[in-house]
Amino acid sequence: MSKVETQLTINLPDGSKRNLECGATAADLAQSIAQGLYRKAVGALINGEIRDLFSVLSDGDTVKILTADDVESLELLRHSTAHVMAEAVQRIFPQAKIAIGPTITDGFYYDFEIPGHTLSTEDLSKIEDEMKRISQENQRIVRHQIPDVDKQISEFKNGGEKFKAELLEEHKHESPTLYLMQDKDGKTIWNDLCRGPHLPNTGLIKAFKLLKVSGSYWRADEKREQLQRIYATCWWKTSDLEDYLKRLEEAEKRDHRKLSKQLDLFSVHDEVGPGLIFWHPNLATIRATIEDFWRDVHRKRGYQFVFTPHIASEQLYEISGHLQSYGENMYSAMDIDGQPYRAKPMNCPGHIMIYRSRLRSYRDLPVRFAELGTVYRYERSGVLHGMLRVRGFTQDDSHIFCTPEQLEGEINGILDLIDFMMTTFGYKYKAYLATRPEKYLGTDEEWAMATGALEAALKSRNLDYEVDEGGGVFYAPKIDIKLYDAIGREWQGPTVQVDLNLPKRFDVTYIGEDGERHQAVMVHRAVLGSMERFCGGLIEHYAGVFPTWLAPTQVIVLPISDRHQEYAAQVLAKLRAADVRANMDDKSETVNYRIREAQMQQIPFMLIVGDKEAADSAVAVRHRRDGDLGVQKVDDFVELITKEIKERK
C-alpha cells in the first residue's frame, strides 16, 4: 500500500508541510499544530476558500486555520449569527417562515415572513435576548449533507418553509447541505438550508446588535411575497461593535440633510414637489465654485461647452430609443401645438444634434462636447433621498465623438481628468470595468473593440481595477469609478461608457481620409455625476467643514466694538477686491458670541480687529481649527488666503 492512501500532505501558509491521517479535518490539523491554535480555531481557509473548521481535508490542500484574528473569520461569524437570529425569531414567532440571510458589509440580514405580526423595534430587543440565550446554550453548528433531497423538500413543505423548499428545489443537484443546531447531547434543535460555512458553535457569538427592520421582497421581486427584513451587525469583540456603532453615529452627524439645516445649504418644499432641490446661497456658492473649476479643467483639456434645451419633441427620444428603453423614467408628454414634447432625461441626443448639424471630417475629431445639463427623471417616491436621489438634477455630462483609433487615447485622457478632479476633492477611488451583459445591442466585434479600449487605457495608466463581468449596460461597456470618502464610505463616482447604439440610431458619422463616411465612436462620461449628488456627497465627505477654496464664506471680519466698524469695512473691501468671499459681522453681540457663530458656520478665517489692528493696518487671525494665529498685516493675510484658494486647499 502506498502512503497516499492513508496519509495526507497539507501545505501550511508559511510554506511548510504537515502529514495527517486520511479523513483528518481542519480541526485535526489545528490540534496537530498547537493546542492554543486549536482552542482559538473557528474555521479554515482551504485553498483560499473559507470553510468549516470540521471540513475534511484532501491531499495537497493549502490550509490556513482561521481564528478571530483573521478578517476572513468575520464572514463565518456573521453568517452564523444570521442563523442564530433566525432561530431566535422562530422561537418567539413559531409561525415565522425563514427566507434568506446573507452577510453584508459589517453585518448581515435575514428575511422572514411572519403571518399576523409586524416586527417592531421592541421586538428587536426581545430577539436579541433570545439570541444571547442561544449563544449561552452553546449549540453546536453541524454541517449535514442532505441524503434525500426530495424527502427534505417535502419536509420543508410540510413545515410550511416554502421559501426553503423553493431554494432546495433549485439547488437539488448541487449536493445541498443543512446546518443543524444541536444541543450538548447531539440532539438537533433547529436547522436551516445553507451552503455554509459556519462557526463550530454558537458560544462564539457575543458582540452583535440588531439595527433595523425593513420591508423586502422574496427574491427581490416586488410581484412576490413581501417579507420583513432585520438588519444586524456583528463583531468578535464588544469593543469592535462599539467602534462600529460610533462610526454609524459619526456618519449620522455628517448627514447632508442635517448639516444643511445647520449651515443653510438647501431645501425641498411640499408646494413644489419631492426630489426637487432649492440651492440656498451657501451651497450655490460652493456649486458655482466647483462649476468654475470644472469649466477650467475642461477648457484646458480641449472640451467645448454647449447648451441644449430642457424639453424636446418626442421624435427625438423615439430616434434615440429612450422612449422605448427608458420610458418609465421619463415624465409624461406635454402638448405643444398638438405635438407631444418631453422633459429631457439625458443630454446625449442633444449633443448628437449639434454634432450632426454639419458634416464632420476625421480632421475635426475628436470632438468633445461638455454641458452641465439639467435632466428630469421619474423616480418612485420611496427612493428619494435628500440631494442624493432626486427627480431633477444637473449632470456634468460630456460626449466625445472620435475614430476607433482615437478611442483608447480619449479614454486615457478622461481617466487623467477624473484622477485630477477626484484627487482635488480628496477622494480615493477604485475602478471597475463592466463588461457585456446578457442582453446587449451591437456585434461581438464592436463589444470587443470598445471593451478592449477601456481595458487598455486602464492598463496603460497602471490603474488597479476589477472586472465586473456582465455589469455593462445593454448599449455599452463602461468603467465605473467608486469613491471612498473621508470616513471610508463608498460613493458612486465617475463613469465612462463607450456607446455602441446611439451612433447607429442617429447615424453619427465623419468623412475619413478615404473620402468615405464612417461611423463615429461615441463616449459618454460624467465625472462628478450630478451636481446634486456630488455636492450632497461632498457635504458628508467634509462633514460640512469645506476647504477654504470651497467655503461659502471664507473670511469673516469681526470689529471688537462699534468704533472699529470703519476699519473693519476697509479690511473687508481689501479682501473682496482680492476675490475673497468675505463678510463682516458687526452685530451688537460680544466678540465671543460672534466667534462662536463663525465657528459653528465653519468659516475658515475670523479676523478680529480692534484699536491695535486699526493702528497698524493689521488683523488678528483666528482659524476655525487652529485657533488664534496671532496678528499680521492685512496685505500678508490677503496673500496667504489667496494662495490657499488658488491651490484649492
Partner RNA sequence: GCCGACGUAGCUCAGUGGUAGAGCAACGGUUUCGUAAACCGUAGGUCGUGGGUUCAAAUCCCACCGUCGGCUCCA
Shortest CB 60 distance to RNA, Å:
40
Nearest to 578 by CA among 649, 626, 644: 644
**Any residues with CB less than 8 A from the CB of 164 and at least 6 apart, and which?**
98, 156, 192, 193
Spell out, one character per residue from 245 to 284, where the chain touches RNA: x when CB under 7 A holds, - when not.
----------x-x---x------x-x--xxx---------
Shortest CB 172 distance to RNA, Å:
24
Shortest CB 33 distance to RNA, Å:
41
Residues numbered 418 to 477 that lie near RNA (CB under 7 A) are 473
User: Beta 605-609 vs 555-559: how paired, if at all?
Assistant: parallel
Shortest CB 303 distance to RNA, Å:
18
Among residues 140, 298, 533, 541, the one that binds RNA under rule CB under 7 A:
533
Nearer to RNA, 43 or 536 (CB): 536
Among candidate residues 234, 348, 402, 535, the one labeled active-site is 348
Nearer to RNA, 50 or 99 (CB): 99
Among candidate residues 377, 533, 594, 624, the one labeled active-site is 377
Per the annotation, the verdict on 397 as an active-site residue is yes
Could you tell me if 559 and 584 are in contact, meaning their C-beta atoms sit under 8 angstroms apart?
yes
Among residues 222, 337, 514, 626, the one that binds RNA under rule CB under 7 A:
222
Residues numbered 4 to 33 that lie near RNA (CB under 7 A) are none
d(CA 117, CA 369): 56
Among candidate residues 78, 79, 298, 399, the one labeled active-site is 399
Segment interacting with RNA, rule: CB under 7 A, options 55-63, 418-426, 446-454, 606-614:
606-614
Could you tell me if 95 and 81 are in contact, meaning their C-beta atoms sit under 8 angstroms apart?
no
Tell me how long the chain is.
649
d(CA 275, CA 287): 18
Segment interacting with RNA, rule: CB under 7 A, options 10-18, 366-374, 415-423, 583-591:
583-591
Can you tell me which residue has the cell 415572513?
A: 113
Query: Does 300 interact with RNA (rule: CB under 7 A)?
Result: no
Q: Which helix H or strand E contains 240, and what residues bound it?
A: helix 238-253
Query: Does 243 interact with RNA (rule: CB under 7 A)?
Result: no
Could you tell me if 465 and 431 are in contact, meaning their C-beta atoms sit under 8 angstroms apart?
yes
Q: Cis (ω within 30 of 0) for the bond into 147?
A: no
Among residues 324, 383, 462, 626, the one that binds RNA under rule CB under 7 A:
383
Nearer to RNA, 127 or 146 (CB): 127
Nearer to RNA, 521 or 560 (CB): 560
Among residues 212, 246, 253, 300, the one that binds RNA under rule CB under 7 A:
212
What is the phi/psi pair of residue 324, to 5°?
Answer: -75, -45
Could you tell me if 471 and 413 are in contact, meaning their C-beta atoms sit under 8 angstroms apart?
no
**Any residues with CB less than 8 A from the CB of 639 and at least 6 apart, and which?**
none
Among residues 106, 128, 169, 379, the one that binds RNA under rule CB under 7 A:
379
Nearest to 458 by CA among 433, 493, 475, 422: 433
Per the annotation, the verdict on 444 as an active-site residue is no
d(CA 66, CA 37): 9
Query: Does 107 interact with RNA (rule: CB under 7 A)?
Result: no
Query: Does 122 interact with RNA (rule: CB under 7 A)?
Result: no
Per the annotation, the verdict on 524 as an active-site residue is yes
Shortest CB 47 distance to RNA, Å:
31
Nearer to RNA, 389 or 430 (CB): 389
Among candidate residues 139, 395, 497, 601, the one labeled active-site is 395
d(CA 140, CA 188): 9
H helix runs in 466-542, sequence order: 502-505, 531-541
Among residues 25, 216, 325, 403, the one that binds RNA under rule CB under 7 A:
216
What is the phi/psi pair of residue 427, to 5°?
Answer: -95, 140
How many C-beta atoms surround the C-beta of residue 197 within 10 A? 25
Name the region of 600 (left: φ>0; alpha: ψ -120 to 50; beta: rest).
alpha
Shortest CB 634 distance to RNA, Å:
13
Tell me how far apart the terminal alpha carbons of the chain are, to the nearest angstrom: 74
Nearer to RNA, 202 or 394 (CB): 394
Query: Does 526 interact with RNA (rule: CB under 7 A)?
Result: yes
Shortest CB 208 distance to RNA, Å:
17
Nearer to RNA, 302 or 627 (CB): 627
Q: Which residues are catalytically annotated?
A: 348, 377, 395, 397, 399, 478, 524
